[in-house]
A = this chain, B = another copy of it.
Amino acid sequence: MNTAPISASPGSLEHPWENIQELIDSGDADQLFQYIDQMSPTETARAISRLSSEYQSRLFRLLSPSDAAEIIEDISDLQAADLIDDLPPKHAAAILEELDSDHLVDLLSEMDDEDAEAILEQMDPEDALEARQFMAFPSDTAGGLMISEFLSFTGDMTILDVLKDLQNNRQTYADYHVQYFYVTDKENHLTGVLRMHDLLFPKRSATLDSVMIRNPLKLAVETRLDQLRDFFEDHDLFGAPVVDKAGHLLGVVLPESVEEARRESAVRQFLGLSGIIGGEEFRTMPLLNRSGRRLSWLSLNIILNIIAASVIALYQDTLAAAITLAVFLPMVSDMSGCSGNQAVAVSMRELSLGLVRPNELLRVMRKEATLGIINGLALGILLGGVAYLWKGNPFLGLVVGGALAANTIVAVTLGGLLPLLLKKFKMDPALVSGPLLTTVTDMCGFFFVLSFASAILPRLG
Residues of chain A having any CB pair with chain B under 8 Å: 1-7, 40-43, 45-46, 49, 73-74, 76, 142, 196-197, 200, 215-220, 222-224, 226-227, 229-231, 233-235, 255-256, 259-260, 262-263, 266-267, 269-271, 273-276, 280-284, 287-288, 290-291, 294-295, 297-299, 301-302, 305-306, 308-310, 312-313, 316, 319-320, 323-324, 326-331, 333-335, 338-339, 341-342, 344-346, 348-350, 353-356, 363-364, 367-368, 370-371, 374-375, 378-379, 382-383, 386, 438, 442, 446
- A327 CA to B270 CA in the complex, in Å? 30
Distance between A159 CB and nearest chain B CB, rounded to angstroms: 15
A74 contact set on B, CB distance < 8 A: 233
Chain B: minimal CB distance from A33 (Å): 15
Decide: A5 and B227 in contact? CB cutoff 8 A.
yes
Known A-B contacts A281-B346, A346-B282; A341 and B42 likewise in contact (beta carbons under 8 Å): no
Query: B345–A1 contact, CB under 8 A?
Result: no
* Cross-chain contact of A345 among B73, B271, B339 (Cβ < 8 A): B271
Chain B hits for A363, CB < 8 A: 283
> Do A230 and B42 touch across chains, with their CB atoms under 8 A apart?
yes
Across the interface, which residues of B come within 8 angstroms of A219, CB to CB? Answer: 4-5
Q: Which residue of B lies closest to A344 (CB)?
A: B274
- Tell me if B342 and A274 are in contact (CB < 8 A): yes
A282 touches B355 (CB 8 A): yes
CB distance from A389 to the nearest CB of B (A): 12
Q: Verify B282–A350 contact, CB threshold 8 A.
A: yes
User: CA A298 – CA B340 in complex, angstroms?
Assistant: 11
Indicate which residue in B223, B263, B270, B348 contacts A259 across the interface (CB closer than 8 Å): B263
Closest residue of B by beta carbon distance from A79: B355
23 residue pairs A–B, Cβ–Cβ below 8 Å: A1-B215, A4-B142, A4-B231, A5-B219, A6-B230, A6-B231, A40-B227, A46-B356, A270-B270, A271-B349, A274-B341, A275-B338, A280-B349, A282-B346, A282-B355, A291-B371, A295-B375, A298-B379, A299-B379, A306-B331, A308-B330, A319-B326, A330-B333
Contact yes or no, B281 A305, CB < 8 A: no
Q: How far is the CA of A311 from the CA of B371 in the complex (A)?
A: 32
The answer, among B313, B346, B379, for a CB contact under 8 Å with A327, is B313
Which residue from chain B places its CB closest to the CB of A224 in the assembled complex? B5
**Most chain B CB atoms below 10 A, which of A6, A350, A354:** A6
A247 smallest CB distance to B (angstroms) = 10
Q: Which residues of chain B have C-beta atoms less than 8 A from A371's C-beta?
A: 287, 290-291, 294
Give the chain B neighbours of A234 by CB distance below 8 A.
Answer: 6, 40-41
- Supposing A40-B234, A46-B354, A323-B319 touch, asked if A309 and B283 sit within 8 A by C-beta, the answer is no
Considering the chains assembled together, what is the distance between the CA atoms of A254 and B319 in angstroms?
62
Are A276 and B346 interface neighbours, CB within 8 A?
A: yes
Contacts of A341 in B (CB 8 A): 274-275
**What's the least CB distance linking A348 to chain B, in Å?**
8
Complex CA gap A350/B290 in Å reads: 14
Chain B residues near A2 (CB-CB < 8 A) = 217, 235
Complex contact B330–A309 (CB within 8 A): yes
A442 touches B233 (CB 8 A): no
When A and B form their complex, which 3 residue pairs have the shortest distance between CB atoms, in order from nearest? A274-B345, A42-B354, A266-B266
CB distance from A279 to the nearest CB of B (A): 11
**Which of B290, B323, B356 lies in contact with A283, CB distance below 8 A?**
B356
Residue of B nearest to A220 (CB): B4
- Chain B CB within 10 A, most for which of A142, A256, A266, A367: A266
**B355 and A46 contact, CB distance less than 8 A:** yes
The minimal Cβ–Cβ distance linking A447 to chain B, given in whole angstroms, is 13
Report if A267-B266 is in contact (Cβ < 8 Å); known contacts: A275-B341, A302-B335, A320-B320: yes
Complex CA distance for A233 and B45, rounded to whole angstroms: 12
Enumerate chain B residues within 8 angstroms of A215, measured Cβ to Cβ: 1
B6 touches A227 (CB 8 A): yes
Taking a contact as CB atoms closer than 8 A, the residue among B197, B222, B269 that contacts A270 in the complex is B269
What is the minimal beta-carbon distance from A358 to any residue of chain B, in angstroms?
Answer: 13
Residues of B within 8 A of A353 (CB): 42, 45, 76
